[in-house]
Structure 1
Amino acid sequence: MRPRGRRPAGSDTRAEIVAAARTEFAEAGYAAASIRSIARRAEVDPALVHHYFDGKPALFGEVLDFPVNPEVLLRRLHETPREKLGSALVATFLDVWDDGIGRERLRVIFASILSSEEAARPVREFLANEVFGRLAVYSDGTPLPRAEALRAGGYAAAQLLGVALLRYVIGYPSLVEASRAELVAALGPTVQRYLVIEREVTPSDGAASTTQAPGSPRSRRR
């Protein structure tokens, strides 16, 4: 029987944190799971989880056996000039998929989320809350309202995940043959329009309007 109380750090602690996180993400979903709830399930102090993992996105990446640390990629994208965000996101996305080991791991993840709602739910919430929804902003850097950010992020996600499915899973010929530079040039401006929203200026007083949701006819994107 395991001794009562929190477990100290040890050779098996990291693996047990990952196992606890896998169960917590599956049962609660990505959004509801927290470092504290994962630590409680693993019977360790939350500080020990932070000792091994740089936040919840990094821990989720470990659970998925993601080929790179999502937190590192997100930090790099957040540091990208807004006018280059679309191209930078497409280039980063392709780099991860074009890596041989990364491609095989992502194919496994793709297959699992297509076949199981239990697997799809935390991935869906992670992409919405930590990736695409967090990247969508107004052109002056002001964050979008949450509902609009999630909608704009969803449009960008549809572009990139559609390319991933066709290029790397189905093997659609023209997308397989396209170079990285061609895909960045073709997709970057579209993703940019989705993620970086230009505020409207009303003719009457020159004030910026934030009432138009992404995708509406009057919204202007760049």
Structure 2
Amino acid sequence: MARTGRRPGQTETREHILSAARQQFGERGYDGTTIRAIAADAGVNPALVHHFFGTKDRVFLAALNLPIDPGRVVATLLDGPREQTAQRLLRMFLELWREPDSRASFLALMRSVATNERAAVMMRQFIERVMLARISEALGVPRLALTAMVSHVMGIAMVRFIVGVEPIASAGEDELVALVAPVLQHYLS
């Protein structure tokens, strides 16, 4: 039975919960994981999981350690003229990758999902359930088209920041947006 209340001494409870969440989501997937199971694995009361994270979605997002708020991605896609959706999305990601801290988090995430099956499962579920489902419904765009768009954006990140292929690695952001946004926008047509 899980202990109740706060752990004695300096708290590392949040990190224990995140570790348990990564384990649970990695083994059981999003649908098979419960707040109770995470709490039991972390040795805490489920109320403490709710205290730190609120909902299962938020635990999941924290476990992924995303360098960006998914709500911001969805809002960026949906707020503004539809014909500029891809441009807004690409600019947002280029801005994210420009910042050293968020770029480091993003690169760590990319390396993790490329080399760790649990991380890949968690990321796949996040993309499919949290991002693609919401955006597909809101924009009335097939998931296949959105997945192609995501693949294109992730490919640019890989070539620009991980592999460093020129001239994309040193191209200006405006130049990349002018070149790539029309292609991304095509996926939404």
- TM-score, normalised to structure 1, is 0.69
**1:29 aligned to 2:29?**
yes
2:185 is the alignment partner of 1:177: no
Instruction: Quote the Cα distance in structure 2 between the aligned partners of 1:78 and 1:51.
Output: 30
Cα contact 2:70–2:131 (8 A) shared by 1: no
Secondary structure, counterpart of 2:169 in structure 1: helix
- Considering fraction of residues, name the structure with more helix: 2
Q: Report deviation, 1:102.
A: 1.7
1:44 partnered with 2:45? yes
**Structure 1 residue 119: Cα displacement:** 2.3
In the TM superposition, 1:180-219 aligns within 5 A as 180-194=173-187, 196=188
Cα distance in 2, alignment partners of residues 142 and 72 from structure 1: 15
Partners of 1:157 and 1:142 lie apart in 2 by 15
CA distance in 2, matches of 1:51, 1:82: 38
Do the aligned partners of 2:64 and 2:119 also contact (CA within 8 Å) in 1? no
CA positional deviation for 1:24:
0.9
| 1:82/1:26 CA distance change after superposition, 3 Å | farther
RMSD of aligned C-alpha atoms?
2.6
Q: Does the CA contact (< 8 Å) of 1:35 and 1:49 recur in 2?
A: yes
- Which runs of no fewer than 5 residues in structure 2 stay unpaired? none
1:152 maps to amino acid: A
Which whole-Å CA distance do the structure 1 matches of 2:179 and 2:32 have between them? Answer: 36
Q: What's 1:218 paired with?
A: none
**Which region of structure 1 is more displaced relative to structure 2, 103-112 or 50-59?**
50-59
Matched residues in 2 for 1:101 and 1:31: separation?
A: 31
7-16 vs 165-174, which deviates more?
7-16
Give distance in 2, aligned partners of 1:174 and 1:31: 42
C-alpha contact (below 8 Å) 1:17/1:49 kept by paired residues: yes
- The structure with the largest strand share of the pair is 1
Between the aligned partners of 2:158 and 2:22, the Cα distance in structure 1 is 25
Write the distance in 1 (CA, Å) between the matches of 2:116 and 2:184: 28
Shift of 1:89: 1.5
**What is the aligned length?**
184
Distance 1:54 1:121 in 2: 22
Identity of aligned residues (%): 28
Higher-Rg structure is: 1
Write the distance in 2 (CA, Å) between the matches of 1:67 and 1:126. Answer: 14
Gaps of 5+ in 1: 197-220
Deviation at 1:79, TM superposition (A): 4.6
